[in-house]
A and B are shown apart, each in its own frame.
Chain A
Amino acid sequence: MYEILEKREIAANNVLYKIHAPHIARKVQPGQFVVVRAFENGERIPLTPVMWDAEEGWITLVTFIRGRTTLRMNMELQEGDKILNIAGPLGNPAPMKKFGKILAIGMITGIVEVYPIAKAWQEIGNEVITLHIVPEPMIILKEDLEKAVSKHIVESFPLKEGMGMPEIFKELVTRGQAKVRELIEKEKPDLVFMVGPARGQKAIFDVVKEYGIPMEVDLHPIMVDGTGMCGACRVTVGGEVKFACVDGPSFNAYEVNWEELIARSEFYADLEKKALEDYLTKLQQGGAQ
């Protein structure tokens, strides 16, 4: 059981939890994630620690409210409450090498995973430019990134009334692609790195590959245990089946089978919607557990 020391909505739909989890704080490195099980009847979901303090024994996690679990966490977990399980740190740490100039991109809440990696890359002598592609109300970590890297750029747009997820996503992709093209031509990075939804990663990769620049992506397919035991998170990379949880999460974007990754990420979309609707009904009826 892990106590929530602090909880804040840091932007629209983005909730930060500062949690007492000394076993994670002691060991986590940039690029690694944890698997959280917040409720007795809850799912196990992968989340990425953004900041941590080994001595004080805390980590921070940021959730983007998009389905039942993340909404329920926001509704039912307050400061002082406890999260049932946090396992980890899991996955391989990001390679701490000198790549030269790095363009590190986060789409929406993907930026939370970019932050610790970009910061660490900058600290070991890389020149890191971070790009956050995001709707305006969801801008997060702006000051932190400005402090941590050579240059932090936010490519954002206001949300207009009646804009649904498909329109927002289209806007993210169009603006993201244009901005990445501009930055590649201007900055000539040696490496591009990106975290975000699989479809977004694929759209940005389509631009990067025109220039042939090496690109790494952290993948987050659906996971259950996160320790290599179930194979839910399998992806085809370079023609081989890999488990994102133990072989990743970082992979060479040129080798990823994107079509398969996207299909696998969306397999449960209908059930996720059903679970969310079920929870919303409970909320309306005042019976959330």
Chain B
Amino acid sequence: MMTLIKERVPTPERPVEERLKGFMEVNLGYTFELAVKEAERCLQCSPAPCTQGCPVHIDVPGFIRKLRENRDNPEKAVKEALEVIWACNTLPAITGRVCPQEDQCEAVCVMGKVGEPINIGKLERFVADYAREKGIDEKLLQEITPKIEKKKEKVAVIGAGPAGLTCAAELAKEGYQVTIFEALHKPGGVLVYGIPEFRLPKETIEKELEKLKKLGVEIKTDYVVGRTVTFDELLEEYDAVFIGTGAGTPKLLNIPGINLNGIYSANEFLTRVNLMKAYAFPEYETPIKVGKKVIVIGAGNTAMDAARTARRLGAEVTIAYRRGEEDVTARVEEVAHAKEEGVKFEFFLNPVEFIGDENGRVKAVKFEKMRPLEERDARGKRKLVPTGETAVLEADTVIIAIGKTTSKLLRMTLPQIEADEHGVIKVNENMMTNIPGVFAGGDAIRGEATVILAMGDGRKAAKGIKQYLEEKRKSS
């Protein structure tokens, strides 16, 4: 008799000692054999809650079925699984790694009610990685591209992050001529400057970008829209515009000492290390200073990324959060990895002052201790009251990871776009802004969210743009 397999097939992980020596990817992913074994646990529900739980509605049971149906032919299995995924998501190697699956597809997995949910994220990643390794995605792309009927309309995409890249890919597949404008020297947005190598290898992103170029998308780096080219110029030259400028401005704490040396925004810290590779200084020429004791303020995914990065640069790291452990917003996997790697956590500490030495470098952080109430706020988090009691923690480096807001430059150079008081752009159900032909998505319309939601927006906006351009064509 068959028995129900309640436990997941584990994915191999790099040992902690080895991780701390560098920036190599922590999770090593499934082999084909392991992937099939995990795929066999799937109940093939219909209708499938996991598909509903996915922000871009990937046919999860569909791609899993392809894997196990073709267990004797790995290439065929992966090709067919990839086709299913690509119908909804062009960047599975990325989402398989950085999606909060435990809050989405895996959260509603029926298997999760009696045992561990199917490891959908790692299966998605396996399909993408294996396809890349064997050149299967390349072949699939070659089958698709000749069928694309070129259209005359041109679309400008601002920002080469997850929202922009997805929107561009979808539009290119429809045959539109797409140009992406990126301010930095490398495309990828938060995927290259924010998310560290050990969680999302740069090589993975580069390979996904190659795919985009093969679809005919042009990427212009060094272009700061609003400065290098104005919105009005874009509107003149392009038939539609997509704004995917993300949440580009770091939030800082408005408390004394914030500008002391050694206090980094998480954006600056991660940009120096990830994009500029400061960990290899002086071979890579951008410096970074990480002292012996690092305090990271905040407890989201960015805070975990910063903390784990600082560990790899040799520091003792403490995450200080004003709420309790139950309200930590980072993914479970990231928190677990941070703990394994020796990151310490201090809860209910609200920073009130940074204390500096005679040279203007931070030497300690003064916190006020908070007390949680039973009452919860609108977001379901326990309300806090200050206790009046303080605590001082020594630190020679502080990283502020309390969130980001929309691009200041965008607000300055595009005042006519309708946005809320935080600069978060307003869009309609088709992702169009108050300016006809100008669409937006990702953190630019959400404040701060996830890679997959940004990708979902990019996809939805691409549909909105297609509809807009088709109507425009009809009426002209």
Contacts and interface: CB of A to CB of B under 8 A. Distances in A.
Partners in one complex: yes
Interface of A: 23-24, 27, 32, 37, 39, 41-44, 68-69, 84-90, 224-225, 227-232, 234-236, 241, 243, 246, 257, 259-260, 263-264, 267-268, 271-272, 274-275, 278-279
The interface residues of chain B, by DSSP majority, are classed as loop
Interface in B224-269: 224, 227-229, 248-250, 252, 254, 258-259, 261-262, 264-265, 267-268
17 contacts: A23-B229, A27-B227, A27-B228, A44-B276, A68-B282, A85-B221, A89-B227, A224-B276, A224-B286, A227-B409, A228-B407, A230-B250, A230-B271, A235-B259, A241-B259, A275-B281, A278-B282
A114 to B, nearest CB: 22
A225 B259 contact: no
Contacts of B361: 263, 267
B397 to A, nearest CB: 11
Nearest to A86: B222
Contact of B289 (A69, A88, A271): A271
B185 A44 contact: yes
B408 to A, nearest CB: 5
Contacts of A43: 276, 285-286
Contact of A246 (B258, B264, B409): B409
B259 A260 contact: yes
Contacts of A268: 287, 289
B76 interface: no
B283 interface: yes
A224 B360 contact: no
A260 B261 CA distance: 9
The winner among B229, B282, B408 for most chain A CB atoms within 10 A is: B282
B285 A259 contact: no
B371 interface: no
A271 B183 contact: no
A267 B261 contact: yes
A224 B185 CA distance: 12
A231 B268 contact: yes
B223 interface: yes
Contact of A263 (B261, B276, B286): B261
A86 B258 CA distance: 30
A225 B184 CA distance: 7
Contacts of B248: 227-229
Interface of B: 183-185, 193, 221-224, 227-229, 248-250, 252, 254, 258-259, 261-262, 264-265, 267-268, 271-272, 276-277, 280-287, 289, 359-361, 407-409, 412
Contacts of B228: 23-24, 27, 87-89
A228 B409 contact: yes
Given A225-B193, A234-B252, A241-B258, 14 more contacts: A23-B228, A27-B227, A43-B276, A88-B222, A224-B268, A224-B286, A227-B407, A228-B249, A231-B249, A232-B264, A235-B259, A241-B259, A243-B408, A260-B259
Nearest to B254: A241
Contact of A85 (B222, B281, B359): B222
Nearest to B194: A229
Contacts of B227: 27, 32, 88-90
Given A85-B221, A236-B259, A267-B289, A227 B360 contact: no
A31 to B, nearest CB: 12
Contacts of B287: 268, 271-272, 275
Contacts of B221: 85, 87
Contacts of B272: 224
Contacts of A263: 261, 359-361
Nearest to B183: A227
B222 A229 contact: no
Closest 9 CB pairs of A and B: A263-B360, A230-B268, A271-B287, A85-B185, A87-B222, A275-B282, A231-B265, A267-B261, A278-B282
A275 B285 contact: yes
Question: Which of A88, A228, A229, A234 is packed against the most chain B CB atoms within 10 Å?
Answer: A229
Given A85-B185, A235-B259, A246-B409, A23 B276 contact: no
Residue picked from A43, A44, A228, most chain B C-beta under 10 Å = A228
Contact of B185 (A37, A89, A260): A37
Contacts of B282: 68, 271, 274-275, 278-279
Nearest to A236: B259
Contacts of A90: 224, 227
A96 B361 CA distance: 38
Contact of A232 (B229, B268, B412): B268
A259 B271 contact: no
Most buried by A among B229, B254, B261, B361: B261
Contacts of A32: 227
B182 to A, nearest CB: 9
A274 B259 CA distance: 25
Nearest to B286: A43
A41 B261 contact: no
Contacts of A225: 183-184, 193, 271
A87 B360 contact: no
Among B280, B285, B407: residue with most chain A CB under 10 A: B285
B185 A234 contact: no
A215 B283 CA distance: 41
Contacts of B264: 232
Candidate in A42, A90, A227, A234 with the most chain B CB atoms within 10 angstroms = A227
B265 A69 contact: no
A70 to B, nearest CB: 11
Nearest to B222: A87
A232 B270 CA distance: 12
Nearest to B400: A231
A272 B287 CA distance: 8
A264 B360 contact: yes
Nearest to A67: B285
Contact of A231 (B223, B250, B277): B250
Contacts of A236: 259
Residue with the greatest number of chain B CB neighbours at <10 A, chosen from A24, A68, A263, A274: A263
B409 A87 contact: no
Contacts of A234: 252, 259
Nearest to B184: A225
A228 B404 CA distance: 11
A23 B222 contact: yes
